Amino acid sequence: MASQGLGREHSVQDLIAKSRDKKGKRFVEKLMPIVLVTIALISVLTTVGILFTLIFETFEFFQRVSITDYLFGTEWLPFSGSEPLFGVLPLVLGTLKIAVIAACVAVPLGIAAAIYLSEYATDKTRRIIKPVLEVLAGVPTIVYGFFALTFVTPMLQELIPSLKIFNALSPGIVVGIMILPMIASLSEDAMSSVPNSIREGALALGATKLEVSLKVVLPAALSGIIASVVLAVSRAIGETMIVSLAGGATPTFDLNVTGSIQTMTAYIVQVSSGDAGYGTTIYYSIYAVGFTLFIFTLIMNLLAQYISKRFREEY
């Protein structure tokens, strides 16, 4: 009888413990959605706050400068004492020079690296090369900037004597090296997701490995590859330190890549370093330029999403 009493006592204690555990789990289950929603709202509200700050300060800038002069002007001379000029096209063109040069470097090399990693490399080789590419992505951009200024530019000057110390070519090439891992990694993921049955079918029909890679796998993974390129170019448009150090601070409205330029991000760095007082037209101009840059990157991201949905292959 005593043993039965002890057994009942233990069973009651177990039931109480289980009940407490259930209450604790229920509390956690109710609490976690609140925590997760709060975190999500913080990120959304932060984005909205940044956007509204850009809009309000940009509106203040356009109270002082004509939007037509800003959008279509070909001279950017904000520090001119007599008559400042705020035509943004030289900054936009400088930014596009860097992005185009970077794309010319990164796209062919990145896609070639992705094809090798996806179709030719062994598992052991892939485990070695992919971390090396990821290390490139983790190098601070200021290091890339000094690399462009002290190594790439002198090397290019041996080939192009007319190349100035500050130019568009050198930082463009280095920005291309910086975004190369993004294209290679994302494109390789897209190619690896193509089913092996498609490869095997093409090989069974007599296609070579190169033909399978270029004519079967590449088109099948096209949406992921194009999206990776668009995102990488968007990253190049927003690059700051490399172009600030190696590109110069001379906004010019021409297609020359051997002379000094200034990009939108480089101008923001220049003014933010203390060249303009608070409340001046130059101060508000950094918000206008920042908003222009935001529009560029937003369009690129929307384009990447559209391309991914438009050309996605279903298997």
Side-chain-facing half-sphere of 264: CA atoms under 13 Å: 26
Tens of pLDDT, residues 169-225: 999 999 999 999 889 888 888 888 888 888 888 888 888 888 888 888 888 888 888
pTM: 0.81
Residue 173: predicted pLDDT: 94
- What distance lies between CA 36 and its chain's CA centroid? 26
Q: Is the pLDDT of residue 308 over 90?
A: no
116-139 pLDDT, tens digit per residue, is: 888 888 888 888 888 888 787 788
Q: CA 14, CA 11: separation in Å to the nearest integer?
A: 5
pLDDT at 315: 45
Q: What is the mean pLDDT of residues 34-59?
A: 86
pLDDT tens digits for range 1-27: 444 444 555 565 555 555 556 666 676
Structure tokens given for 235: 């990253």
Confidence of residue 108 (pLDDT cuts 50, 70, 90): very high
pLDDT of residue 2: 47
Kindly list the structural domains of the chain, giving each domain's residue range(s) and its CATH number in brackets, ordered by start. 85-310 (1.10.3720.10)
What rounded mean pLDDT belongs to the chain? 83
* The predicted structure's pLDDT at residue 251: 87
Q: What burial letters (b/e) apply to 216-225, b meaning 16+ CB within 10 Å?
A: bbbebbbbbb
Residue-level pLDDT at 275 = 63
d(CA 220, CA 212): 11
- The pair phi, psi for residue 139, each rounded to 5°, is -70, 130
pLDDT of residue 109: 93
Identity at 25, one-letter amino acid code:
K
Q: Rounded CA gap, 254 and 223, in Å?
A: 34
pLDDT for residue 157 is more than 60: yes
List, for residues 56-94, the tens digit of each pLDDT value: 888 888 888 888 888 888 888 887 777 888 888 999 999
The larger pLDDT score, comparing residue 13 to residue 31, is at 31
Check whether 262 has a pLDDT greater than 60: yes
CA distance 243 to 141: 10
What pLDDT digit, counting tens, does each position of 266-278 carry? 888 888 776 667 7
Kindly report, residue by residue over 233-249, the tens digit of the pLDDT. Answer: 988 988 888 998 888 88
